[in-house]
Chains A and B, each alone.
With several copies, the nearest count.
Chain A
Amino acid sequence: MAKIQPLGDAVAENLRDGDFAAFEGFTHLIPHAAAHEAIRQGRRDLTLVRMTPDIVYDQMVGMGMAKKLVFSYVGNPGVGLLRRVRDAIENGWPNSLEIEEHSHAAMANAYEAGAAGQPIAVFRGYVGAELAEVNANIKSVTCPFTGEKLAAVRSVRPDVSFVHAQKANKKGDVLIEGIIGIQKEAVLAAGRAVVTVEEIVDNFDDVHPNACVLPSWAVTAVCVVPGGAHPSYTHGYYGRDNASYVAWDEISADRDRFKAWMLENVLDASPDDYADRVKSFRSAP
């Protein structure tokens, strides 16, 4: 059963130096508060996986927490490149960063296979794509019926996954709605799963029977962090702070400015600060 506990405790109990860790979210529901807590706790040598690492991964990489990045699209969506990730890859600042790069289809299939307890995902993919030549973790199998060559990638099975969701009930069951992305797979593929939520409600009696619900026993910890996705968003609670994404481009352009921003907004902040940050983006009730 999920332990309902403060975010600081959940991160301390579930994220260890050297872990293979996912902080997933596909534009929607990105677990910024959880990642910031991990930054405050100073975890190191992480292998970070995400389909679409964006500014919160830029922050973790810039803070020197990552030794490796596994991804399929690394950018600030709709804005541009990630300057801290670039600095790490191109210049080794603050440390060199190993990368393992895939396509979205491969990563989606690999998370799916991880949730399904399988060692690999097999699919028609990477045809003619040069990634297959530079990533030794892209292999192939031969269809035993037709002889067709199919792509094979290892399933993604993180030590721990962090996701943000709309809400939990008192038992610790978790509800995710809207752009559900790869949230369910990230949780089910992982050894441990920490979910930040906007609120805890009494029950899910009014929830659609086929809604995306993670039963309490499939989750390790649930933490209430209102606004915990900011500047990403939570469908039904608050909208995306697009201006913050745009502003990041300039903040991250300079190492010192980046460090100052992290000190003020992350290191000196706490999980209680997110509710305020989303105030002006709240949906009409």
Chain B
Amino acid sequence: MSGVHPDEMMTIAASRVLNSDDVCFVGIGAPSAACNLARLTHAPDITLIYESGTIGTAPDVLPLSIGDGELCDTAVTTVSVPEMFRYWLQGGRVSIGFLGAAQLDKFGNINTTVIGDYHKPKTRLPGGGGAPEIATSCGEIFITMKQSRRGLVEKIDFVTTFGHGVGGPARENMGLKTKGPTLMVTDLAVWKPDPETKEFTVETLHPGVTREAVQETCGWPVKFSDGLAVTPEPTELELTTLRDLQARTKAAHAGAA
């Protein structure tokens, strides 16, 4: 399909892995767009939770922050932040945590804290927020981010959020019972961890994307699945729904109502 922007492909591919039975802890940005696109297309009953305490939200436009008013207006219920983290996240009630990343390594460990040394940072990033415990408490973790050599790196500067550690059985060895990262959707491809090594492996390339394009935007030697396939093209419905959502969002955030 011509005219599909890689960001759109990323959001659409990510939305497809969600379904109506999922209870999804949503990070702001690309995860939020994917989750809401899923809700507006094939997963109308998906439960979206934002860490501001809004459970089961159905916003008409994408929130700018995790605590926009519409999240509460459309929620099944809105709880306090301690309750959100204690009963709902730590309580193991969330099946999928959907995270973005500033830096990521091949085992799905995430850095959103600093570029450079922690105590003398080159760039101070926002920090972990909910991610460290989202990553260990949710049934599994989906990651979505745009590929770049600055983002997908051999060694991240700081382990904000534990993925598969050094790979293999690292999570079990830490006593974790949850699956950790099971999927990554980028603007170029869909990745899944190797069942043994846990190294992210490309499963499908988005339409028109080459292996070389993936490797050029990734800081480690990329592994491709033996059954490497092409991500299905966006459908008309997916693309229209996403574009309408983005347009409504842009209008709403531009200024006063």
Contacts and interface: CB of A to CB of B under 8 A. Distances in A.
Whether A and B touch (Cβ < 8 Å) is answered with yes
Interface of A: 1, 26-28, 51-52, 71-75, 77-79, 81-82, 85-86, 89-90, 101, 103-105, 108-109, 111-112, 115-118, 123-131, 134, 148, 173, 178-182, 184-185, 188, 204, 209-213, 215, 217-218, 233, 235, 239-243, 245-246, 280-281
A116 to B, nearest CB: 4
A240 B68 contact: yes
A125 B256 CA distance: 40
B256 A241 contact: yes
Contact of B128 (A28, A72, A148, A245): A72
A275 B65 CA distance: 23
B79 A210 contact: yes
Contacts of A103: 128-133
A89 B119 CA distance: 9
Interface in B54-90: 54-56, 63-69, 71-73, 75-82, 84-87, 89-90
Contacts of B47: 215, 217
Contacts of A127: 132, 136, 162, 174-176
Contacts, number: 225
A210 B64 contact: no
B169 to A, nearest CB: 13
A204 B76 contact: yes
B81 A181 contact: yes
Counting chain A CB atoms within 10 Å of each CB, the highest count among B68, B126, B174 belongs to B126
A127 B175 CA distance: 9
Interface residues of B, number: 71
B28 A77 contact: yes
A235 B75 CA distance: 14
B159 A129 contact: yes
Interface of B: 21, 23, 28-29, 47, 51-56, 63-69, 71-73, 75-82, 84-87, 89-93, 113, 118-119, 121-133, 136-137, 158-162, 165, 174-176, 252-257
Nearest to B136: A127
Nearest to B157: A130
Counting chain B CB atoms within 10 Å of each CB, the highest count among A108, A173, A188 belongs to A108
Given A115-B91, A243-B253, 12 more contacts: A27-B52, A79-B64, A86-B123, A101-B113, A116-B90, A117-B92, A178-B78, A184-B80, A212-B80, A215-B55, A242-B64, A245-B65
Contacts of B53: 26, 179-181
A215 B77 contact: yes
Contact of B124 (A72, A85, A126, A246): A85
Contact of B256 (A28, A82, A243): A243
Contacts of A124: 90, 133, 136-137
Contacts of A280: 256-257
Contact of B64 (A134, A181, A217, A245): A245
Counting chain A CB atoms within 10 Å of each CB, the highest count among B71, B119, B136, B176 belongs to B136
B129 to A, nearest CB: 4
A86 B124 contact: yes
A28 B130 contact: no
B90 A129 contact: no
